[in-house]
Amino acid sequence: MKRVLQIVFFVVCLLCCSLSLKAQRPCTDTLVRVRDSICEGSQYVFNGRTLTRSGIYYDTLTRVGADCDSIVILRLAVLEYPYAEPGSKAHCVEPAGHNVIVYDDGRGMYFHWTSVPMDSSLLGQEHLSDIYVMPTEPTVYEVYVDYRETPQCPSRGRIKLNPVQPVLAQMYVYPDQLSYNQLEVEVEDFSIGNSGQQYDFWNGRKWYLNGVLQGSQKKHTSFAVKPWMEGDSVEVKMVAFSSTCVDSAIKVVPFRRVALYFPIVFTPGLEQNNTFRPIVDGLLQYELWIYDRRGALVFHTTDSNHSWDGTSGGHPCPAATYVYKCRYRDIETPAGFQTLSGTITLLR
């Protein structure tokens, strides 16, 4: 009997020790860390939960046959779709072309360019965010943008570009100087690269006088000017443009303030306009001859203040058309003489 009691006591001790040791053993849950991403507008299912926002999420997974659970920590990032709208800027200097840029947010985006029709200038730049192309015909450039080479959140953009047409503005302006007798400028566009209509864009020019846009934009036209209202000259400016490029040319036409103006008709015997005398200003030397239609001299003077009263030798000249010739030096060209001729009508 004593022997049986000893055995029972031993067994009980073993069980108690085993339970005591088991109760003292620590239980550590297993941590599982997960990083993942989805595109905006998408859903992420996390152990039965639907997630749509960036954040840190926790969940506990019960381990079958184990005393401890697994704790899952999810770091979820919701990615915006990349911006894939190309912008372009035309460069009109050689080599003329377009600089095309797609915004890169600094995360090392993946780019892939294609073109229709195929543009050989694109070769070697297919995976850049900033490309320089030189299309020879209207071309559509399409770019694929993503966060990595394999599809994740892909975006596409496109842009249509025409060939760059450099322009060299050139013009003809006549006369080289204005005067009271010449108050009109004649202009003509001789620019290179802005003629004709190409790629659905109108090519042409704009004319400016002293910075004021003129109504006529013809290739060959003329404008009446009043330089004394603006200063001592008139600035003629032409802006020539193509579908992609712009250039301008400027010429300053000085105003000759020497006045030498001859009336075209006079009527002796009336209270007004009854003598023939030019309007002069700035002359240093002056001489005037008037002839009838047969070539006979009817009037001569070297005094610009001396008028012809329509008589010759004290006798009235008949109503007719007479020819005058003037020889003069002025303050702007004092070294040499200039001549001017025309006709005057005498009415009675």
CA dist 140 and 287 (Å) reads 73
- Taking residue 290's Cβ as centre, other Cβ atoms within 10 Å add up to 22
- What is the spatial distance between Cα 141 and Cα 161, in angstroms, rounded to a whole number? 8
Is-contact 329 287, C-beta < 8 A?
no
Same domain, 120 and 134: yes
Task: State pLDDT tens for residues 12-56.
Answer: 444 444 444 444 445 666 788 999 999 999 999 998 899 999 999
In angstroms, the CA 296 to CA 14 distance is 161
Same domain, 67 and 103: no
Mean pLDDT over all residues of the chain?
Answer: 86
pLDDT in tens, 311-323: 999 899 999 999 9
How many independent structural domains does the chain possess? 4
Instruction: Note the pTM of the prediction, 2 decimals.
Output: 0.57
Instruction: Determine, yes or no, domain membership for 232.
Output: yes
Lowest mean pLDDT among 81-85, 124-128, 141-145, 321-325: 81-85
Domain annotation covers residue 248: yes
Judge if 64 and 129 occupy the same domain. Answer: no
Residue 299 lies in a domain: yes
Where a domain ends, among 209, 236, 254?
254
What is the extent of the structural domain holding 280? 259-346
Question: Are 263 and 334 within one domain?
Answer: yes
252-280 tens-digit pLDDT:
999 877 778 888 999 998 888 899 988 88
Domain boundary among 129, 161, 193: 161
In whole angstroms, give the CA distance from residue 300 to residue 291: 9
| Closest to 313 (Cα-Cα) out of 294, 299, 333, 323 | 299
